[in-house]
């Protein structure tokens, strides 16, 4: 299981949102590249980088700074937020991203998602973000009349090999992950799953690891790292 630090970007700065609420933004750094290098120094092997402006407005807004992050670090990066077409995907892959994370576009146009998977294969990851039993999209600003379980089935049918699963009720709260939901999802899929949302302690990481699923590829951690609730080196040791 890989420990994956998150770098969320608004206006070129590193921030975190509380439950996906853009009015509850917490600032951590005005230098995302420096932040990425810090996580690398502490042992990270993979980064999860999100253009939150892109997610909100439906177009890449922080592509230049994300490109600089990818080029500055000697580790794998996955990039999401506002990616809508082949041009956006190709841009980040050309910059050196390991893979790209799609959300809204994957939900709204499953046929196009299949096309992207046929073009880019395992480079395509889909982010399954949900509130209760409803999928959310467009930077977590709109709900869809579909449950995460139904969406995951559709995503698998499109040939996607990795998903990021986020319970936004937990995200940015430091209240712990939705372990029972993760157990249910992991038992129902035969693809790789990355867990995200609410992870606040080494005990939370251990709970996810103890699910014992071969499908759990990794865990994304954000606020807990930035506020010193979790030491990255310690998290890596127990993963």
The pLDDT tens digits of the residues spanning 182-229 come to 999 999 999 999 999 889 999 999 999 999 999 999 999 999 999 999
The CATH superfamily assigned to 2-238 is Aldolase class I (3.20.20.70)
Q: Which is catalytic among the residues 8, 51, 53, 204?
A: 8
Low-confidence residues of the chain, pLDDT below 70?
Answer: 138-140
Backbone angles phi, psi at 216, to 5 degrees: -80, 100
Q: Which of 88, 129, 167, 171 is catalytic?
A: 129
* CA–CA dist 208, 133 (Å, integer): 21
Residue 8 falls in the annotated catalytic set: yes
Q: In the prediction, which pLDDT does 17 show?
A: 87
Q: With a threshold of 0.85, does the pTM exceed it?
A: yes
What radius of gyration, in Å, describes the C-alpha atoms of the chain? 16
In the three-class reduction of DSSP (H, G, I as helix; E, B as strand; rest coil), residue 231 is classed as coil
The residues, any chain, with a CB within 8 Å of residue 90's CB and separated by 6 or more, are none
Inter-axis angle of helices 32-41 and 63-72, nearest 10: 30
């Amino acid at each position: 299981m890989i420990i994956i630090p998150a770098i969320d970007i608004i206006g070129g700065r590193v921030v975190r949102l509380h439950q996906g609420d853009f009015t509850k933004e917490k600032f951590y750094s005005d230098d995302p590249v420096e932040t990425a290098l810090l996580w690398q120094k502490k042992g990270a092997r993979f980064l999860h980088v999100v253009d939150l402006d892109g997610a909100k407005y439906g177009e890449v807004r922080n592509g230049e700074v994300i490109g600089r992050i990818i080029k500055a670090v000697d580790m794998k990066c996955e990039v999401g937020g506002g990616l809508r077409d082949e041009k956006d995907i190709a841009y980040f892959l050309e910059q050196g991203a390991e893979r790209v994370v799609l959300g809204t576009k994957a939900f709204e146009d499953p046929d196009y998602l299949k096309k992207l998977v046929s073009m880019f294969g395992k480079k395509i990851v889909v982010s399954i973000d949900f509130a209760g039993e409803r999928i959310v999209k467009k930077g977590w600003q709109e709900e869809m009349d579909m449950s995460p379980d139904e969406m995951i089935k559709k995503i698998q049918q499109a040939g996607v090999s990795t998903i990021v699963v986020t319970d936004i009720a937990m995200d940015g709260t430091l209240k712990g992950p939705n372990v029972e939901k993760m157990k249910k999802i992991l038992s129902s899929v035969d693809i790789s799953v990355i867990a995200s949302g609410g992870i606040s302690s080494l005990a939370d990481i251990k709970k996810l690891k103890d699910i014992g699923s071969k499908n759990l590829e990794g865990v994304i951690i954000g606020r807990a790292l930035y506020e010193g609730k979790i030491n990255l080196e310690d998290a890596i040791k127990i993963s």
